[in-house]
Amino acid sequence: MSEQEIYKGLAGVPVDYTAISKVNPETNSLLYRGYPVQQLAANSTFEEVAFLLWNGELPTDAELAAFEEKERSYRGLEHHIKRIIDELPLTAHPMDVVRTAVSVIGASDPTTADDSREADLDKSLRLLAQLPSIVSYDQRRRRGLHFVEPRDDLGYSANFLFQTFDEVPELPVVSAFDVSMILYAEHSFNASTFTARVITSTLADLYSAVTGAIGALKGALHGGANEAVMHVFDEIGTADRVGPWLDEALSTKRKIMGFGHRVYKNGDSRVPTMKAALDTLVDYYERPDLAELYDALEADFVGRKGIYPNLDYPSGPAYHLMGFDTEMFTPLFVASRVTGWTAHILEQRAANALIRPLSVYNGVDERDVPVKD
């Protein structure tokens, strides 16, 4: 075994600068382009946040109007994308469907190879606008329902919910969904964003980087956790069963989904804002039982292990209350994080260095291939 130091999982290793977001575990804060994410959630829309992440500044009224007009004009889904989704079996996980759809969009776009900033910004906006159509189409086909065409008189979040449920929900639901989109949008060099930057560093196109990032997000240690949280809630059932369930789970060294974070060790900066949105939904849908289960699991697990909830813990039950099927939760994360991924793709391209770390070999020593007689 070599004595050379290795940095397993790149934990604690800074690999580049970024001006997009700042995660500060000491102050438990998250800034997008300098703005606290809590303030953005309270005062901005997801469209404004997308503009901010890509351009570095919040839009003026005129810039926002132009941005929204373009986003709304890009929302439709071309026939061949629908056809390819239709060909995928219902046994396919929705993350595989969304990954395939983005890959097909990349294969169909004549500008895929154009890596100018203007072309990449346009592709980013197209993906932002089309992901709600893709996700809602997949959710609805699984329920045997027809595609709902987007409405260009609705903002991003209201339209997303309209396309999924064929009706525009009331304001508290739209607001909670918009808050979740803002909170999920960006989080520095997390695994999926880093994947996008690695792919971009080889000079591959934006769609390849986003497709790879979707693959990285799927896993339960990353974005897949919001789906996994809901499975945990379903398994436990009611608040009074939390204790015995945790005894059993911890005795088998099970990871409790929705808790823990690589960077935050004293709580995730996004959780209080998302928990407030969840509380609104609990009141709106009159589901105090869900809040009791949420609180009981949090109190018991934090009490035993001192490991705090991450964003996936409140967002899983929030999406459940809104009516999304559990398997659709991580695709919702994709729809939001595509903004952060593409902002990082633009930043990586602007000051590129091929990302290629070293490894320390610990296999068998050099040996000769046996020569057959």
Known catalytic residues?
Answer: 261, 312
* H or E element in which residue 35 lies: strand 35-36
Give the closest residue to 342 by CA, choosing from 172, 97, 128. Answer: 128
Which region among 82-90, 108-116, 217-225, 357-365 touches ligand ACO (by CB under 6 A)?
217-225
We find the least distance from the C-beta atom of residue 41 to ligand ACO, in angstroms, to be: 15
Contact call for residue 223 and ligand ACO (CB under 6 A): yes
If DSSP states are collapsed to H, E and C, what string results for 231-290? Answer: HHHHHHCCHHHHHHHHHHHHHCCCCCCCECCCCCCCCCCCHHHHHHHHHHHHHHCCCHHH
Q: Which of 94, 132, 150, 260 binds ligand ACO (CB under 6 A)?
A: 260
The site string for ligand ACO over 171-200 (x = CB under 6 A, - otherwise) reads ------------------------------
Angle between helices 46-55 and 61-73 (to 10 degrees): 100
Residue number with CB closer to ligand ACO (81 or 210): 210
We find the least distance from the C-beta atom of residue 259 to ligand ACO, in angstroms, to be: 4
Give the closest residue to 22 by CA, choosing from 193, 184, 187. Answer: 187
Residues numbered 240 to 259 that lie near ligand ACO (CB under 6 A) are 255-259
Contact call for residue 128 and ligand ACO (CB under 6 A): no
Residue number with CB closer to ligand ACO (124 or 190): 190
Q: Which of 312, 318, 330, 344 binds ligand ACO (CB under 6 A)?
A: 312
Give the closest residue to 323 by CA, choosing from 284, 363, 296. Answer: 284
**What's CA 111's distance to the chain center, in Å?**
25
Contact call for residue 340 and ligand ACO (CB under 6 A): no
Which residue reads 């005795």 in tokens? Answer: 251
Please give the backbone phi and psi of residue 354, each rounded to the nearest 5 degrees, phi first: -55, 130
Cα angle 343-348-351, degrees, rounded to a multiple of 5: 130
Q: Which of 72, 222, 320, 337 binds ligand ACO (CB under 6 A)?
A: 222
Contact call for residue 310 and ligand ACO (CB under 6 A): yes
Contact call for residue 225 and ligand ACO (CB under 6 A): yes
Residue number with CB closer to ligand ACO (9 or 89): 9
Amino acid making up residue 232: V
We find the least distance from the C-beta atom of residue 225 to ligand ACO, in angstroms, to be: 4
Please enumerate in sequence order all residues whose Cβ is within 8 A of that of 147, keeping only pairs 6 or more positions apart, or say none: 77, 82, 133, 136, 137, 140, 141
Residue number with CB closer to ligand ACO (12 or 144): 12
Q: Which of 33, 197, 218, 261 binds ligand ACO (CB under 6 A)?
A: 261
- Contact positions toward ligand ACO, by CB under 6 A? 9, 221-223, 225, 255-262, 307, 310-312
